[in-house]
Structure 1
Amino acid sequence: MKNRVKLARIEKNLTQVELAKSVNVSRQTIGLIENGKYNPSLNLCINIAKTLGKTLDDLFWEVDKGD
């Protein structure tokens, strides 16, 4: 699953560790989410979006570049 979590995290000047602590998961979980190897729960997606000041659409909605 492609997402823009890493880009948003970097824009906020947060490390994976800092984001992980903010949303109460491990740094490894954040890394897996950023690499599209872990499908987070809706609750975790919401917490990440709130922490990064983004909407769920900003972070997780797949945009068709052909539109």
Structure 2
Amino acid sequence: MTQQFPPLEQETRSHIPTDCCAYHINRASQTLRAWACLENGPIRPIRINGRLAWPVAEIRNLLEGGAK
């Protein structure tokens, strides 16, 4: 069964989990985890209780061509 994610324009949360972010930017979840670990990706997550949370505003900016 494939997990369903809401369209990014309908996202109401300020930050989303890694799997949801990976879906929206068409990257593997492990790629995002590497970006977080190495601090070298186009967007940076915050950590909430040890889990990564990716900022929706920065994801939108990235998809519009505004980041690296």
Using the size of structure 2 for normalisation, the TM-score is: 0.40
Q: Which structure has more helix as a fraction of its residues?
A: 1
Q: Which structure has more strand as a fraction of its residues?
A: 2
Using the size of structure 1 for normalisation, the TM-score is: 0.41
